[in-house]
Amino acid sequence: MTKYFIGVWIFFFCSCDDKKRITLYEYDGVYVTRIDNHTESYFYFGKFKDEYNLPKSYVKSHFNGFNSGIDAYLIFNQNNVDVYYSMGQFENIGKKGNIKVINSPKSRTFNYNFDDKVRGRYNNICRVSDILTREQVLNFDNHSKVKVTILVE
């Protein structure tokens, strides 16, 4: 029994990755930079290659760790990006910017029919997740035309 708890303890701490990841999303010349730091993600409108000189307006998401995560859609428009989420906690930070959460965290107004409406034809939509492989599969299967580049992993 002691070996079991030691094994679980080692697995838990080895699987907790504190590395930061920077991901760039681009559709039709509109960019979003995502910076992940364990259970928190920050989404910035524009193209940034590091964590310096970032805009004061952004979207912050976080989840509570084990048995939780984030799931959202980045909807690219001509001059802005809307964030429509179904899992995790998302909030607008700063004054109105070109990236914003469009559904309310209090009312959880996510329309589950939205996924049915866009399934197979994401085009200007990119699904984001805390699990990179899930994100990649969902976007590939739904024909997203958003280009995703991992700058730092």
What pTM was estimated for this model as a whole? 0.83
- Long-range contacts of 141-146, Cβ-Cβ distance < 8 Å, separation of 24 or more: 142/118, 145/27, 146/25, 146/26, 146/27, 146/74, 146/76, 146/122
Tokens of 54: 């970032």
- Asked if residues 79 and 97 have their Cβ atoms less than 8 Å apart, the reply is no
Render pLDDT for 85-132 as a digit per residue (tens, 0 to 9). Answer: 888 889 999 988 899 998 865 555 556 677 888 899 999 999 999 999
Render pLDDT for 9-66 as a digit per residue (tens, 0 to 9). Answer: 444 444 444 568 999 999 999 999 999 998 899 999 999 988 888 999 999 999 987 7
